[in-house]
Amino acid sequence: MKKFNLISTLFIAIACLTIACKKDKGTDEGMVQSAKDFTAKFGAQQQNLQINASALPQTVTLAGGTKINFPAGSLTKGGVAVTGMVTVEAIEVLKRSTVLFTGANTNHVSGAPLASDGFIFLDVKANGSSVDQNLAVPVKIAIPAKREGSTQLWIGVDQNDKPLVAAGNNQMAWQAPRPQANGVGQKEVNAANSAFTFDFGALGWINCDVFYSYSNPKTTITVEVTNNPGTMASFHAYSGETYVFFCPKGSNVAAQLYTPAGANKVKSYDNTMPVGVQGRMLSFSIKNGRFYYAAQEVTISAGQNIALSLSETTEAAVQNAINSLDSY
């Protein structure tokens, strides 16, 4: 009887241990269960740096080499000069793969593709809340340049031309810092000393991009995603599970298609995709801890309709496919 009780007790202990292990595994913070988890884990990470607002000017250098100089008098809160220690919160997106991992894009607000020279997010917090987004004195930003020539400056907005935040169904787009009806006010910056260096008068999403240069006629394309386990994802996957991108060969473009065109269908903005361009149309989706991917090499043609069929795959396979775009 004692032997039976001992065996029973041992069995129960092992069973409890097994259940506990499964529970721990199921709640592992490193496990990706959704597209939102995916962008949080593999997308550009927030960098936090401390500076003394009472001792400006000060310069911070981000992990990817971006430098930001805060001049004297630049930081205010409610119009009053900020003093003491503040936290600079920054995000760098300097590679095409990072654009996709972050759930972002290089779409102009008109829908035209932009070729990215890199973009950042910048905020400054004093006592836990943001300082004035419109700066009293512009900051000086230097983003590493991988080419010669000039670039243009943009700010991140949502589809309603409001400052971009990850919320609801917001999608990322880029517009000129001081938009006017005729586009006047857009600023160009020349590369010098391996950097695009410029003054910028506001915090938020800040971009160095040029319009994707291709003189061929433009068209509208439609992509149908079959076997789609979820819905189309918004900026940073705040909602939805599935992304669709067009990535041209040899250009740092990540054009996201998100305009609804029917069940599991999205389209480009009207007459924005250059006919004759070769590239990769791809889709990926993450839902309930499962990963899906589809890709097709395409040449853009007038009024093109493309079908992508998502197949279940692994987290590593999706990562590798996205990373490969940096040399595509």
Per-residue pLDDT at 30: 64
Above 70 in pLDDT, residue 33? yes
Q: What value does the mean pLDDT take over residues 231-250?
A: 97
Model confidence at 180: pLDDT above 70: no
Is the pLDDT reported for residue 152 higher than 70? Answer: yes
Q: What's the pLDDT band for 25 if we cut at 50, 70, 90?
A: very low
Q: Please, which pLDDT band fits residue 178 given cuts at 50, 70 and 90?
A: low
* Average pLDDT of every residue of the chain: 90
What is the structure's pLDDT at 96?
98
- Specify the pTM: 0.88
Retrieve residue 176's tokens. 């000129």
Q: 82: left (phi > 0), else alpha (psi -120 to 50), else beta?
A: beta
Decide if pLDDT at 10 tops 80.
Answer: no
Residue 160: the pLDDT is: 82
- Chain-centroid distance of CA 154 in Å reads 15
Residue 147 has pLDDT above 60, yes or no: yes
Least confident range from 181-195, 196-210, 259-273: namely: 181-195
**259, pLDDT greater than 80:** yes
Mean pLDDT for the stretch of residues 267-293:
97
292-304 per-position pLDDT tens digit: 999 999 999 999 9
- What are the C-alpha distances in Å from 314 to residues 32, 246, 283, 292, 318? 11, 21, 14, 8, 7
The answer on pLDDT for 286 being more than 80 is: yes
| pLDDT computed for residue 181 by the predictor | 38
pLDDT greater than 90 at residue 89: yes
The pLDDT value given to residue 165: 86
Kindly list the structural domains of the chain, giving each domain's residue range(s) and its CATH number in brackets, ordered by start.
37-211 (2.60.220), 218-327 (2.60.40)
Alpha-carbon Rg for the chain, nearest whole angstrom, is 23
Judge whether residue 64 has pLDDT over 60.
yes
Average of pLDDT values for 193-209? 94
Burial profile 220-255: b = 16 or more Cβ within 10 angstroms, e = fewer: bbbbbbeebbbbbbbbbbbbbbbbbbbbbeebbbbb
Say which residue, 88 or 163, is predicted with more confidence.
Answer: 88
